[in-house]
Structure 1
Amino acid sequence: PATGERVASFSYGKGFLVFLLIFGVVLLGLAGFVLYLGTILPHSTAGPVELNTSHGTPLNVSSPAMMIYATSAFLAVLGLIVLGLYGWQNKQRQTRYELYEHGVAHTTRGARTYVPFAEIQDLYLFSSGQVAYTGLITNLAFRRTASEPFHRVLPSLKGFYTFMETFRELYLNARQPVVLDTLHAGGSVTFNCLNGAQVWRKRMGGDFLNVDTQPIVVSRDAVLIQNSVVPMSALRSMDHSRWNETIEIRDAAGKVVLSTLATGILSHDLFLSTLGLLMETPANDRPATAPTFA
């Protein structure tokens, strides 16, 4: 497929990996050194050893040799844990990204995959880590359809926020015309949505990519939300509060049609833009009654 011009390239930094590798090796080296000290310990030092913690609690060790072996084992276990963490992080940081005018390419261990923006149905933005409770977006994931697994981009990507903003802009520019063409041809477009409770559960508990979604189906003349069909002509306002992350849509009577966390709607930039354009369509260009969704 035509990619258009390449806009930017992004990759994961190696600094943290180098630190983990060196730290793990140093811990194992210290473990070996402490064990070596045990071999040169004078035999006259045999006997129980009593230590006091910073809180004054006494610790009794049967012999200096036992204390040395325990210290060496502790350092060795820490070293292995750090090296295990290095291996896990190294596996997650193998991907390189290229953003093009019409799509995104990701390359992992020489295997390159190009995904056109126009084919991406779900763009999932979510918050994780220490800032999860604030709602700050720190992760991006995307997939072509709901039957495919998400491809997740981690916040440790160098220039992640630049990547995310550029991705969102290019995605909207490429996907919006496709959606509008579908709607003007009499079709409908489905946006998958997580409810607010599920968004918060994932922020606190993880397992972000295992999502249970409900559809919001948009046609040129109506929107299907929670099994209720609302004519587009009945919608009057759409508010997106960045302060509390909420999207709120009301009808002509002031009744709330939809109120949910923005990031709970997959591809929410596209959803807001599409609904905004449809709501601006003159009323005489739409039927007075809502169509029936199949």
Structure 2
Amino acid sequence: MAGIATPLLVAAGGSLADHPLATIIAAVLCFAGLGLAVAWKTLEPKVVLALHDRGVVIHYSRTKQDDFVPFAHMADLYLYRTGQQTGLVNGLAFRRDAESPWVDVRDNLGDAFRLRGAIIEGQLRERGPLTLRALEAGEGVVFHMVSDDDRHARRQGKAGQGIKATAFYLSPLGVEFEGLTIPLHEIASVDEGTTSGSLRLLDERGQTLWGVHYLSLFSADLFIVLMRTLIESRHYGLGGVTSNKSY
């Protein structure tokens, strides 16, 4: 607007040829405005997240479409670190299942710290009871994890969204991998290493039956809650969890 108005005001109805400096300034302003418009459109957020009581609305700026992902349907939450920050989790990604794309919540998205906390809390509140009822019905709940090498690669920016994850099951039988099952009756407790970040399943003698880094396990908080619930149910004889491998 300034580029158009400047020569008109200077010329005052006369010829622009009599005011070469004003014409040059106007051209510079027009090109600057065009560059800013292109930059603004390029930097425009492609994804905008809106927190709701039951889930997160994903607004895609390019397509002008919205997608609502309920907390109850968030099968995987992936907490991770980026850069050289020590001990700080500055990224979270969530998805419905292994076939769905990840949606990232990084520190460049508004109040990302509060949003990440709300998503973790929402998954525990909404998906926790559903998965517990599935276990009580004898079904298995699918979890995913990545290797330590892949976790470090993600932190250093050397791995993208296509990072390979391995699936395993939490079931009334225990923790089941391909070709390996850790029976529930052998698991006495869940240990969270506060300094090392390790997450371990221990037997009654305190020996490690299985271990994984907290940040290598998707939906780690949900896994811990369900695992401790199963252990307490068995320990106190609450019952209600049976084996029925329908998965």
- State the Cα distance separating 1:293 from its structure 2 match: 8.4
Structure 1 equivalent of residue 43 of structure 2: 90
Structure 1 equivalent of residue 4 of structure 2: none
Larger deviation: 176-185 or 148-157? 148-157
Q: Distance in 2 between matches of 1:141 and 1:208?
A: 12
Q: Which runs of 5+ in 2 are unaligned?
A: 1-34
Q: Distance in 2 between matches of 1:285 and 1:267?
A: 25
TM-score (norm 1): 0.64
Give the count of matched residue pairs: 209
Q: SS where residue 84 of structure 2 aligns?
A: helix
**In structure 1, which of residues 124, 130, 147 is the aligned counterpart of residue 84 of structure 2?**
130
1:235 equivalent in alignment to 2:187? yes
- State the Cα distance separating 1:144 from its structure 2 match: 0.7
Q: Which runs of 5+ in 1 are unaligned?
A: 1-81
CA offsets 1:107-131 (integer angstroms, 9 cap, x no match): 1223211111111111111111231
Structure 1 equivalent of residue 111 of structure 2: 159
Structure 1 equivalent of residue 60 of structure 2: 108
**In structure 2, which of residues 226, 230, 235 is the aligned counterpart of residue 274 of structure 1?**
226
**In structure 2, which of residues 120, 126, 129 is the aligned counterpart of residue 168 of structure 1?**
120
Identity of aligned residues (%): 25
Q: Distance in 2 between matches of 1:223 and 1:108?
A: 38
Assess if the C-alpha contact under 8 Å between 2:172 and 2:243 holds in 1: no
- Would the alpha carbon gap of residues 237 and 98 (structure 1) be closer, same or farther in structure 2, given more than 3 Å must change? same
Assess if the C-alpha contact under 8 Å between 2:140 and 2:245 holds in 1: no
Assess if the C-alpha contact under 8 Å between 2:144 and 2:166 holds in 1: yes
- State the Cα distance separating 1:255 from its structure 2 match: 2.9
- State the Cα distance separating 1:291 from its structure 2 match: 7.9
- Would the alpha carbon gap of residues 102 and 162 (structure 1) be closer, same or farther in structure 2, given more than 3 Å must change? same
TM-score (norm 2): 0.75
CA offsets 1:253-289 (integer angstroms, 9 cap, x no match): 43312211101111111111111111111344569x9
AA aligned opposite 2:180:
S
CA offsets 1:55-74 (integer angstroms, 9 cap, x no match): xxxxxxxxxxxxxxxxxxxx
Q: Distance in 1 between matches of 2:42 and 2:83?
A: 15
**In structure 2, which of residues 209, 213, 226 is the aligned counterpart of residue 261 of structure 1?**
213
AA aligned opposite 1:90:
L
Q: SS where residue 128 of structure 1 aligns?
A: coil
